[in-house]
């Protein structure tokens, strides 16, 4: 049974017929391989296309060595560039000299990546390599050269002379094509720069190798110049002969009144006109000269100020004080005469241009607080006369009638600059809230002066009756006028 099972499981290969069949088939296969030679292993015919009838090392096309695999394949290595370069010596030369198209490819040693083979005898390896050819390796991108002005695809031959194996750039091709779009520009441009367009242009719509650093060799493009379009300086596409001086593009503004000249760089930087520079630091008239121009934009005739309005001296940074008087004198000659006579002509010593005097602290002379703070200068300094202004109260204030000349001129004994009211009543013993309804007005009792009073404004009396009652207390009629004498707190009970 075991024997039977073993026999049943025996592989059919061990049957003589199957064995003979296998050997016959294998021999047939080997025989065919012997006859076919290298073709048995070839995945496809080699190219028989030759564009130029030129022979390289006695070989016209790859098809000439169709059956000799080792012409291109190194055993156990594969296709090697060195084998290709035995015939394609020009390619090897390009790499050696680092000149020419094949010196620009990173994968130049993998010829088969671009020049595929075994694709049939009519397969054009050269044309196939162009399908995935990256034109940027030539330093000229076709990004902007896919379609011509008529929106038709641009063929290689539009720019190149195609010899079948080599594309030679036609020098005039760029101008020929672009001339049709803008003849005048191309004419001016080529006249200025020549016809070697590729020396400057890389096909990306920018100039080849153009960088801000490169431009800096002739003119540094910094600050506000970075965003300036080429045409601003190179009008009409003319680059040659472009002036580098500021005045070639910029004119001196009216405010300068032609006093600063064309050496813009001595005060300005490319970052912008404002702020101007003074000794290399940003210049602000208010900070740098302690005199703001906020009130000096236009003169009395509404004419715009220029630097020359104040700086009449030869050197622009020098300032003549006489210029202030010269301008302000006509507006108010009398005042100016007195003012300069009083304070001198060094206006800047007191004035900072904002309408206030520079570094003058009025509090050092007279404290301007309370009711004095909002006062106009003229309230104390009539006719703008500052010198000799009295500092005591009586210089401006008179004792009121109500004082009846009894309080003197030491106002601050009772009053503060906060106001006449409330006065400090240091000797007023009679309660101010007499009547029990809060503080009563002074005039309620002191109808004429503060030294006289009457109670009868509120306490209406029948004189005869009051006299009768007080007589019972031995108080005479004269004393009835001095109620406080007996009623110091305003109460009915006497002291």
The distance of closest approach from Cβ of residue 70 to another protein in the complex, given in angstroms and rounded to an integer, is 9
Does 25 interact with another protein (rule: CB under 8 A)? yes
Site stretch for another protein (CB under 8 A), options 18-26, 59-67, 231-239, 295-303: 18-26
Q: Which is nearer to another protein, 19 or 249 (CB)?
A: 19
For 37, 39, 180, 237, 271, the CA distances from 231, given in Å and listed in that order, are 70, 65, 22, 7, 20
Total of residues contacting another protein (CB under 8 A):
34
Side-chain-side CA neighbours of residue 203 (13 Å): 15
Q: Name residues contacting another protein, limited to 38-57 (CB under 8 A).
A: 39-44
Does 482 interact with another protein (rule: CB under 8 A)? no
Site stretch for another protein (CB under 8 A), options 25-33, 47-55, 410-418, 421-429: 25-33
**Cβ neighbours of residue 169 under 8 Å, at least 6 residues apart?**
159, 160, 161, 198
The distance of closest approach from Cβ of residue 90 to another protein in the complex, given in angstroms and rounded to an integer, is 24
Does 107 interact with another protein (rule: CB under 8 A)? no
Q: Report the SS3 class of residue 277.
A: strand
Which tokens go with 377?
Answer: 């200068």
The distance of closest approach from Cβ of residue 126 to another protein in the complex, given in angstroms and rounded to an integer, is 17
Q: Which is nearer to another protein, 23 or 183 (CB)?
A: 23
The distance of closest approach from Cβ of residue 2 to another protein in the complex, given in angstroms and rounded to an integer, is 11
Does 10 interact with another protein (rule: CB under 8 A)? yes
Please count the other Cβ atoms lying within 10 Å of the Cβ belonging to residue 46: 21
Which tokens go with 463?
Answer: 């004189």
Decide: 289 and 354 in contact? Cβ < 8 Å. Answer: no
Q: Name residues contacting another protein, limited to 60-89 (CB under 8 A).
A: 69, 73-79
Q: Which is nearer to another protein, 110 or 308 (CB)?
A: 110
Strand partners, 153: 147
Does 156 interact with another protein (rule: CB under 8 A)? no
Could you give the angle at which helices 183-193 and 173-181 cross, rounded to 10 degrees?
140
**How far is Cα 140 from Cα 455, in angstroms, rounded to an integer?**
114
Does 273 interact with another protein (rule: CB under 8 A)? no
Strand partners, 167: 162
**How far is Cα 360 from Cα 354, in angstroms, rounded to an integer?**
13
Does 104 interact with another protein (rule: CB under 8 A)? no
Decide: 250 and 268 in contact? Cβ < 8 Å. Answer: no
Which tokens go with 392?
Answer: 């005591």
Interaction site with another protein (CB under 8 A) = 9-13, 15, 17-19, 21-22, 24-26, 29, 32-33, 36, 39-44, 69, 73-79, 112, 118
């Amino acid at each position: 049974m075991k024997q039977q099972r073993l026999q049943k499981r025996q592989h059919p290969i061990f049957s003589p017929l199957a064995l003979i069949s296998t050997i016959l088939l294998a021999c047939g296969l080997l025989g065919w391989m012997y006859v076919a030679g290298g073709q048995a292993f070839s995945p496809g015919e080699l190219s028989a296309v030759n564009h130029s009838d030129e022979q390289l090392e006695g070989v016209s096309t790859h098809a000439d060595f169709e059956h000799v695999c080792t012409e291109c394949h190194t055993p156990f290595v594969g296709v090697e560039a060195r084998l290709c370069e035995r015939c394609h010596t020009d390619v090897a030369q390009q790499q050696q000299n680092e000149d020419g198209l094949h010196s620009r490819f990173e994968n130049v040693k993998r010829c088969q990546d671009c020049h595929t083979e075994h694709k049939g005898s009519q397969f054009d390896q050269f044309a196939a390599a162009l399908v995935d050819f990256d034109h940027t390796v030539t330093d000229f991108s076709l990004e902007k050269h896919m379609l011509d002005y008529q929106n038709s695809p641009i063929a290689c031959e539009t720019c190149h002379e195609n010899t079948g194996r080599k594309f030679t750039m036609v020098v005039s091709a760029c101008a020929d094509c672009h001339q049709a779009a803008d003849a005048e520009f191309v004419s001016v441009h080529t006249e200025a720069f020549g016809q070697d367009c590729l020396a400057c242009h890389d096909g990306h719509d920018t100039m080849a190798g153009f960088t801000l650093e490169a431009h800096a060799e002739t003119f540094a493009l910094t600050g506000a110049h970075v965003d300036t379009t080429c045409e601003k300086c190179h009008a009409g596409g003319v680059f040659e002969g472009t002036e580098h001086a500021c005045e070639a593009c910029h004119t001196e503004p009216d405010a300068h009144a032609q006093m600063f000249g064309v050496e813009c760089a001595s005060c300005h930087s490319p970052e912008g006109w404002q702020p101007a520079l003074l000794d290399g630091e940003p210049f602000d008239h208010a900070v740098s000269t302690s005199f703001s121009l906020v009130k000096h934009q236009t003169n009395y005739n509404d004419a715009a100020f220029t630097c020359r309005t104040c700086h009449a001296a030869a050197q622009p940074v020098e300032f003549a004080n006489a210029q202030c008087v010269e301008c302000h004198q006509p507006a108010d000659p009398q005042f100016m005469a007195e003012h300069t006579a009083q304070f001198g002509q060094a206006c800047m010593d007191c004035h900072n241009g904002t309408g206030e005097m520079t570094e003058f602290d009025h509090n050092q002379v007279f404290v301007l607080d309370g009711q004095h703070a909002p006062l106009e200068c003229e309230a104390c300094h009539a006719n703008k006369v500052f010198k000799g202004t009295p500092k005591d109260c009586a210089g401006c204030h008179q004792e009121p009638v109500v004082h009846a000349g009894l309080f003197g001129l030491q106002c601050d004994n009772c009053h503060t600059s906060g106001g006449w009211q409330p006065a400090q009543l240091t000797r007023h013993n009679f309660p101010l809230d007499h009547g029990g309804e809060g503080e009563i007005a002074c005039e309620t009792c002191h109808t004429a002066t503060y030294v006289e009073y009457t109670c009868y404004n509120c306490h209406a009396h029948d004189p005869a009756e009051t006299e009768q009652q007080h007589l019972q207390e031995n108080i005479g009629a004269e004393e009835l006028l001095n109620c406080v004498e007996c009623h110091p707190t305003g109460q009915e009970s006497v002291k």
